[in-house]
Amino acid sequence: MNEEIRMFARIGHFHNDTLLEIAIDSFLKFEKLIVEKEVLKSKGHIIHDEFIIYNEEDKINEIENLLLKESIKTVIFLSSFLESYFFEFSAVALGQQYTEKHIEKLDLASKIMLIPRLVTGNEIDNSQHFWG
């Protein structure tokens, strides 16, 4: 297969879009669950031995478990999306062989810092809070 056609097919592959969609769906579920949890907490509580016990304690605990699951899904699938996106970007811009030999083994943060610099000559500002 022609290398240009192969690269175009890879960029258009469903994985990038699917990974991002799952991350977004999980984040939206997370946001809804936060609101639902706050509504349940607003229904009242008692204080027993310095611990707050909510009227809807069982439902709140279930929601907290779901929040944990959705946050994990969001982080994992967004990281997978970014990993895939930056690998594909590098393969198209720098070449498949170069990417596989030099870039593929790097961790995600290094790829995000290195690939744009190699391709565009500009660095990403890593002083932002999300890098911490």
81-130 pLDDT tens trace: 888 888 888 888 888 888 889 988 888 888 888 888 888 888 888 787 76
Residue 74 belongs to a domain? yes
Residue 107 belongs to a domain? yes
Residue 132 belongs to a domain? no
Residue 121 belongs to a domain? yes
H helices of the chain, in order, are 3-11, 14-41, 57-94, 96-98, 108-120
Taking the model in full, what pTM does it have? 0.74
Residue 130, CA distances (Å) to 22, 69, 99, 126, 127 in order: 21, 21, 26, 8, 8
Of residues 2 and 43, more confidently modeled: 43
**Distance between CA 88 and CA 12 in Å, rounded?**
10
Range of the domain at 51: 3-126
Whether residue 2 has pLDDT greater than 60: no
Residue 45 belongs to a domain? yes
Residue 131 belongs to a domain? no
What's the domain count of the chain?
Answer: 1
**Distance between CA 100 and CA 104 in Å, rounded?**
5
pLDDT of residue 108: 86
Residue 46 belongs to a domain? yes
pLDDT digits (tens, 9 = 90+) for 36-84: 999 999 998 888 888 888 899 999 999 999 999 999 999 999 988 888 8
What's the distance, Cα to Cα, between the start and end of the chain in Å? 43
